[in-house]
Amino acid sequence: MPNPTWISGALYFGYYMALGSYMPYITLYYDRMGLSGVQIGVLSALPVLVGASTVLIWGTIADARHWHNRILHLTILLAAASILMLSTGSTFQELVPFIIAFAFFNSPIVPLLDSSAVEIASLRQSPFGNIRVWGSIGWSISTLLVGMIIQKSNIKWLFYCYVAVMLLTFAVSFLLPKRTVVLRTSLAHGMKKLVTDVPFLVFLFSVFLVSITMGATNAFFSIYMDSIGSGESAIGLAWTVSALSEIPILLYSSALLRKIGSTGLLKIAFITYGVRWLLYSFINIPFLVIILQALHGLCFATYLIGSVTYINAHAPEGMTTSALSLLNFVSFGAGAIIGSLLAGYIYQSAGLPWLFRLLSLLAFAGLGIFMLSQPRQVKVATL
C-alpha cells in the first residue's frame, strides 16, 4: 500500500495543478469574449454562490455516512466534465449552466482533501503543512506553464490542461486509504456546539471580511495585470511567484504554530493582506507587481494553516469535514461571492485602484475584530 502521506500530497498536487490551469486565466477568457465587468463579476460570483450553498451538504453527508472517498472520486471526475463543457460555451447565457455544474461538484473537494490530510498528519505525526505544500508546488508549475502555452497558442488551452490533470488526479484518488476517525456524537449536537462557540463565530466573521478581499482579487487580478500591460506569460509568472512564496511558510508551519499559535498566524495574514492590497492600488508596473506577489506566502499560507488549525481545535471528533466545510462556506463562499460582485461593480464604476484601497480597509477591519475577540492562542503543534 502506498504511503498515505504521499498519496495525500499527490492529490493536493494534482488538484491545485488543475486549478492553477484554470483560475488565473478564466476571467481573462471572459474579458476577451467581450463580456462586461458586471457579467464577469456574476460569472465569478456564481460558482462561489453555488459552492457555498452545497459545500455544507456535501460535508455533512460525508461525515454522517462516512462516504469521504466515494464523494471525492465522484466530484473530481464530474468537475472535470463540467469544465470540458464550459469550454464549448460562447455567450454569457451558455456559460451559466456549466459554471453551476462545476461549482456544485468542485465545492466538497478542498474540505475532503484538507480533512483527510489533517487525519493522516495526526496519525502519522507528520506536519499538515508538509502535505499541503504539494498543492502550492502544483499550482506554481501549472500557472507558469499554462501562461506560456496560451500565449503561444490559444487561451482555450486552459480548459484542456485542467481536464487532463484532473483525470490523472481522479485515478490517484483511488489509492487514498479509508478514513478511520468516525463521528462520535449526533451531527445536530456537534453542529450546535460549533455555532454556539462565540470565539469561533467571531473568528468566522473575521475571516469573512478578509475573504471578501481574496475573492475580489482572485476574480480580477489577471484583468488588473492585463490593464497595466502584462502579457499572459507575465500573468502566469505573477501567479507562480505567489504560489512559490507559500512553500517555505508551509514547510515551517509546525515550528510557527509552536511559537505563535494559530491566532498569531492569522494576525500576520490579516496585516499582510491589508498592506499588500494597499500597495497594489499605487502600482502600474508589471515587474513591481510580480515582486510584490512574494508577499502572498505571508498572506495565504499563514491564513490557511492558521484557519485549518483553529478549525481542527474547535471541531467535535469526527466532524472535521463538516467544520472545514463551514469554514469554506464563510471564507471561500459567502465572502468570495461579495468580493466578486463588489469587484465587478467597482471595476466598472471607479477603477481597480479604488477597489484595492477598499480591500485594504476590509482586511484591517478583520484584523481589528479578531484581535479584540481572541484573548488566547490556540496551539496545535501536531499539524
Query: In this predicted structure, what is the pLDDT of residue 40?
Result: 84
- Percent of the chain at pLDDT above 70? 90
| pLDDT score for 164 | 95
Would you state the pLDDT for residue 381?
Answer: 43
Kindly indicate the confidence band of residue 380, based on its pLDDT and cuts at 50, 70 and 90.
very low
b or e along 283-302 (b: 16 or more beta carbons within 10 Å of the residue's beta carbon)? beebeebbebbebbbbbbbb
Residue 213 CA: distances (Å) to CA of 20, 55, 74, 352, 372: 19, 21, 31, 13, 21
DSSP 52-100: HHHHHHHHHHHHHHT-HHHHHHHHHHHHHHHHHHHTT--SHHHHHHHHH
- What confidence category does residue 362 fall into, taking pLDDT thresholds of 50, 70 and 90? very high
**Comparison of pLDDT for 206 and 59, the residue scoring more:** 206
Radius of gyration of the chain from its Cα atoms, rounded to whole angstroms: 19
Task: Give the C-alpha separation, 10 to 20, whole Å.
Answer: 15
First to last CA, the chain: 23
**pLDDT surpasses 90 at 44:** no
Q: What's the confidence (pLDDT) of residue 218?
A: 80
Q: Tell me, what's the pLDDT at 378?
A: 45
- The pLDDT of residue 13 is 96
Share of the chain above pLDDT 90, in %: 31
- How much is the pLDDT for 268? 94
Does the pLDDT of residue 137 top 70, yes or no? Answer: yes
Q: Which range has the worst mean pLDDT, 141-150, 340-349, 369-378?
A: 369-378
Domains and CATH numbers, the chain: 4-177+187-373 (1.20.1250.20)
Using alpha carbons, select from 288, 293, 298 the residue that is nearest to residue 248: 298
Is the Cα dihedral 57, 313, 117, 47 positive or negative? positive
pLDDT at 181: 59
**pLDDT tens readout for residues 113-135:** 988 888 888 887 778 888 989 99
pTM of the predicted structure, to 2 decimals: 0.73
Amino acid 350: pLDDT: 83
The pLDDT score that the predictor gives to residue 379 is: 47
- Residue 319 has what pLDDT? 67
* Average pLDDT of span 46-58: 81
pLDDT higher than threshold 70 for residue 1: no
Which range, of 92-96, 330-334, 375-379, averages the lowest pLDDT? 375-379
Which amino acid, 341?
A: L
Determine the pLDDT at residue 79.
Answer: 95
> Which whole number is the average pLDDT over 242-262?
87
For the ranges 23-27, 181-185, 361-365, the one whose mean pLDDT is highest: 361-365
Q: How confident is the model at residue 356 (pLDDT cuts 50, 70, 90)?
A: very high
Backbone dihedral region for residue 26 (phi beyond 0: left; psi -120 to 50: alpha; all else: beta): alpha
**Whether the predicted pLDDT of 382 surpasses 50:** no
